[in-house]
Amino acid sequence: MSLLSLEGIVAGYGPDVPILHGVNLHLDAGEIVAIVGPNGAGKSTAMKAAFGLLNIHEGRIRMGDEDVTGKSPESIVRKGVSFVPQTENIFPSLTVQENLELGGYFSPRSHVRAGLERIYTLFPPLRDKRYQKSGCLSGGQRQMVAMGRALMPDPTLMLLDEPTAGLSPKYAEEIFSLVLGINANGTSVLMVEQNARQALMISNRGYVLVDGRNRHEGPGNDLVRDREVAEMFLGG
C-alpha cells in the first residue's frame, strides 16, 4: 500500500479549466520521489493537488488506505504530511524560533521542545539566529526555516516545491544532502525540482510530467540516462 497515491487526477484552480489531465503517481514509505518536467507541465500543481489546494474534478487521492480526495490542507497536515511551498514559505515578521514553533502548532508542548532541538541539530545556523526575524535571513537560511517548520511535527511525508529555486549551486547542493538526511531519518519525500538532474540522482524514482500528463516514470538514475528525457529538458 502506498503512502500517497494520485489516481487519474484531473484538477485545476477553479471548477473548470483543468491543468492536470489525468496524473497518476504514487510514493511508498521511505522513498524519495522527484517530479520533473518542463515549465508549465503541472509539476507543482500535482503536488498542490495532493495537499488539498486544488479543485479535483476527477480521480482520487489516497494516503495509506484512506481516501483524502477533497480534504483541506488543515486536515492533511494533521495526517503527518508537511508541505513546503516554493515562495512565501516563512512568516517573515516572526522569529526563526516562532516559525518553527508554529510548525508544531497542533503537537503537544513537550513534542515542540524536542522538535526544536532536533531542527537546530539538523540546521545548526538556525540555532544562533533563533531570536532573529526570519525575514532578515538569507535565501538559503530562509529555506532552512521553511523546511525546519515542515519537519517540526516529524512528518511521515514531506512535500517540497522547488526547494533549490533561486539558491546558489553551493546551497542547492546542501539542500539536496539535507533531503537525503531527512529521508534517512524516516521521512518520505516528494519533491518538484528544476534542477532535474541532481534531483533525480538522489531520488528512488522520478516522474516526468508534460502538459499535465505523465510522460515517463522510473528509477531516478534511469531517467537521468534516458535519451528522450535528456533531450527534452535536461539540456542534452
Least Å distance, CB 88 to other proteins, is 5
For residue 176, state whether it binds other proteins (rule: CB under 8 A): no
Alpha carbon of 33 to those of 92, 116, 155, 221: distances in Å? 29, 27, 16, 12
Give 22 or 166: the residue with its C-beta nearer to other proteins.
166
For residue 212, state whether it binds other proteins (rule: CB under 8 A): no
Strands 81-84 and 188-192: unpaired
Strands 32-36 and 188-192: parallel
Q: How far is residue 43 CA from its own chain's centroid? A: 11
The label of the residue with cell 519525500 reads 189
One residue of 59, 69, 71, 102 binding other proteins per CB under 8 A: 102
205 HSE (CA, 13 A, CB side): 13
For residue 113, state whether it binds other proteins (rule: CB under 8 A): no
Give 79 or 127: the residue with its C-beta nearer to other proteins.
79
Given a contact cutoff of 8 angstroms between Cβ atoms, the answer to whether 32 and 187 are in contact is no
Least Å distance, CB 103 to other proteins, is 6
One residue of 49, 51, 206, 220 binding other proteins per CB under 8 A: 51
For residue 105, state whether it binds other proteins (rule: CB under 8 A): yes
CA 32, CA 78: separation in Å to the nearest integer?
Answer: 21
For residue 106, state whether it binds other proteins (rule: CB under 8 A): yes
Q: Any idea what DSSP says for residue 29?
A: T
**Segment interacting with other proteins, rule: CB under 8 A, options 56-64, 94-102, 185-193, 222-230:** 94-102
For residue 129, state whether it binds other proteins (rule: CB under 8 A): no
Q: In what order do the strands lie in the sheet with 55-63?
A: 20-27, 4-12, 55-63, 66-67
Give 51 or 176: the residue with its C-beta nearer to other proteins.
51
For residue 62, state whether it binds other proteins (rule: CB under 8 A): no
For residue 103, state whether it binds other proteins (rule: CB under 8 A): yes
Residues forming contacts to other proteins in the complex (CB under 8 A) are 51, 53, 73-74, 77-78, 83, 85, 88-94, 98, 101-103, 105-106, 149
